Amino acid sequence: MFRMPDGPCCYVDVDDTLIKWSVPTGDEPENELVTVVCRDIKQTFAINKYNLEYLEKLAVRGHLIIVWSAAGAVWAEAVVKAFGIEHLVIATMSKPTYYVDDIRDANQFMGKHVFFDENGVRTGYAPKRDLNEK
């Protein structure tokens, strides 16, 4: 069994978070591109540089960074390697499809859930915790 170190921990999504799923047309000069090689297939994506910079900021401040994807750990690892940020990421994994807990509302035990738009503008957090709510 693998035991994660204790400490602040941040899970970062891949598709449409670190990379933009839309295929670049070449008409987006502001977009930097990254080529990801996964299972011997190369694909090019636009980088969401704001979220990548946010990941780097958290990592430098001591957060354990886990990059996860609904497409699986292999895909997440390929994207991490394409960015060359293996030194900042402690693990890649699939997004949970199931979890068991005595607390019904994940917002009560998960930390901040931060949302950014494609321009790096923070658009929200998960709903604030209401301790009186059943």
For Mg ion, the closer of residues 117 and 130 by Cβ is 117
Instruction: Indicate whether 15 belongs to the interface with Mg ion (CB under 5 A).
Output: yes
Q: Least separation, in Å, of the C-beta of 16 and Mg ion? A: 4
Tokens coding 20? 């933009």
CB atoms near residue 85 (< 10 Å): 17
Q: For residue 43, give the nearest of 14, 68, 66 by alpha carbon.
A: 14
Q: Least separation, in Å, of the C-beta of 128 and Mg ion? A: 23
- State which of residues 9, 10, 11, 13 lies at the interface with Mg ion (CB under 5 A): 13
- State which of residues 4, 8, 16, 44 lies at the interface with Mg ion (CB under 5 A): 16
Q: Are 51 and 116 in contact (CB under 8 A)?
A: yes
